[in-house]
Amino acid sequence: MLNSMAIGRYYKAESKIHDMNPFAKLICIILFVALSMISNDIKLNLTISIIVILVMGLSHVPLRLYYKTIFGMRLLIIFIIIINFLIGANYIEITLLVLRLITLVLYTSILTLTTPPSEIAYGLEQLLSPLKIIKLPVSKLALSISLALRFIPTIIDQSNRILKAQASRGIDFQNSDIKGKLVAVKSLLLPMFVLSFKRAEDLGEAMEVRLYNIDKPRTNYRVNRWRFFDTYIVVMHLAMLTVVIARMIIK
């Protein structure tokens, strides 16, 4: 079940998107989220979807990984449709909502699939660097986020192993009734907490024995240069957002 989630997994490949500066990718994500949130038009949302598909193609990541991400959240999508249907939303509104959710998740997946966690941390640090003025511990925050991202696939693998152990003792998540599923999920929580804390402790100790000091300023092994392609993509996102805002004002 949990194997279907591709969020947080990095896929190594050679592509323009992989080569982009992580800082530029994060700016694009923010602009894309804004764009997606303010566009209430179905045509515009379809255009956005086409752009997402184009970027997915440019990323050279197998489409099945994106498909797995969407397939993994099918229950959430069904839930959203049912709830909106019950509160009396019409089918255009529901389509818009679902389309928006799918494009947002896919766009975020492009970031995580094409950027290793350490690079995401670098991007976040750059993005949040202005906040250093108000004494916000930006490096610590970036490190925490990158570690959390790095642990998502590990935790998914871990829960898969626990579910397998439960199945071998008669409570199979996939093949049992709702009661069995609830028992399986309930008894998944305890070991997940215990093992996650244990792993976090192990990681902390491993970092300490390698003399990692969070208070020292960090340098980067690889210098992420800002290329023309980064400027081009950011400008494109900005232009799209400007056009949409301008259209809204004119209307």
Partner 1 sequence: MEIKFNDVSYKTILKNIDIKFLDGQIIGLTGSSGSGKTTLVEMIDALVLPTSGNVLIGNYKVDNKVKLKNINDLRFNVGLVFENSEEQIFNTTVYNEISFGMRYFKYKTDQIEKHVKDSLNMVGLSEDYMHKNPFNLSHGETKKLAIASVLAFNPEILILDEPVVALDNRSKKNLIKIIRALKARYNKTIIIVSQDTDFLHKVVDYVFVMADGQIVMEGTKYDVFAKEAELLNYNVKTPQLIAFSNLVLAKKGIKIGYRDEINDLIKDVYRYVK
The separation between the first and the last C-alpha atoms of the chain, rounded to the nearest angstrom, is 46
97's CB contacts (< 8 A; 6+ apart) are: 80, 84, 89
Number of residues near partner 1 (by CB under 8 A): 21
Instruction: Look up residue 215 and give its two tokens.
Output: 């208070």
Residue 4 or 129 having the CB closest to partner 1 = 4
Using CB under 8 A as the binding rule, whether residue 173 contacts partner 1 is answered as no
Report the nearest approach of partner 1 to the CB of residue 171 (Å): 6
Angle between helices 117-128 and 138-168 (to 10 degrees): 150
**Cα distances (angstroms) measured from residue 27 to each of 30, 79, 92, 143:** 5, 31, 30, 19
Q: Quick one: 88 or 170, whose CB is closer to partner 1?
A: 170
Contacts 24+ apart (CB under 8 A), 229-233: 229/16, 229/19, 229/20, 230/20, 230/21, 230/24, 231/24, 233/20, 233/24, 233/28
Q: Largest Cα–Cα distance in the chain?
A: 64
| Residues of span 132-161 touching partner 1 by CB under 8 A | 158, 161
What minimum distance in Å lies between the beta carbon of 75 and partner 1? 21
Q: Which is nearer to partner 1, 72 or 180 (CB)?
A: 180
Residue 177 binds partner 1 (CB under 8 A): no
The yes or no reply on residue 166 touching partner 1 (CB under 8 A) is yes
Q: Which CB atom, from 95 or from 187, has the smaller least distance to partner 1?
A: 187
Site map for partner 1, 178-217, x if CB under 8 A? --x--x---xx-xx--xx----------------------
Spatial distance between the Cα atoms of 28 and 107, rounded to a whole number of angstroms: 10
68 binds partner 1 (CB under 8 A): no
Residue type, 239: A
Whichever of 114 and 166 has its CB closer to partner 1, that residue is: 166
| Contact flag: residue 171 with partner 1 (CB under 8 A) | yes
Question: Out of 73, 97, 98, 167, which residue is the one contacting partner 1 (CB under 8 A)?
Answer: 167
Q: Is 137 exposed, middle or buried (0-12, 13-18, 19+ CB in 10 A)?
A: middle
Which amino acid, one-letter code, is at 218?
R
Query: 59 is written with which tokens?
Result: 């990323």
Any contact of residue 169 with partner 1 (CB under 8 A)?
yes
Nearer to partner 1, 31 or 162 (CB): 162
Can you give the binding site for partner 1, defined by CB under 8 A? 158, 161-162, 164-172, 175, 180, 183, 187-188, 190-191, 194-195
